[in-house]
Amino acid sequence: MTPVYHLPPEQRRAHEFVAQFNADEQLWRNLESKRRLRRRLYPRMSAKLRKQLDLLEFAAARPPRDCVGRFSSL
């Protein structure tokens, strides 16, 4: 994620949250075709199991979070 240096320091973190949310939303939409195919191939699968598989697939496809530079003192 590209840092935004023109924003005040108190707004940078909020901007990072919004950018991460937008990236997650785009990934979720890209996986829509796989979810539709799973629902068509396995119509008797429970809704709970489908949701678990959807979330598992999303977690596997999601890139790891960049945590460099995030340190708060105890």
- Among residues 9, 34, 12, 44, the alpha carbon closest in space to that of 1 is found at 12
Q: State the CB neighbour count (10 A cutoff) for residue 26.
A: 10
What is the mean pLDDT of the segment spanning 12-27? 90
Q: Note the pLDDT of residue 24.
A: 94
Q: Note the pLDDT of residue 6.
A: 80
Where on the phi/psi map is residue 16: left (φ > 0), alpha (ψ -120 to 50), or beta?
A: alpha
Q: Note the pLDDT of residue 69.
A: 62
Instruction: Report if pTM > 0.85.
Output: no
Band (pLDDT 50/70/90 cuts) for residue 58 is: very high
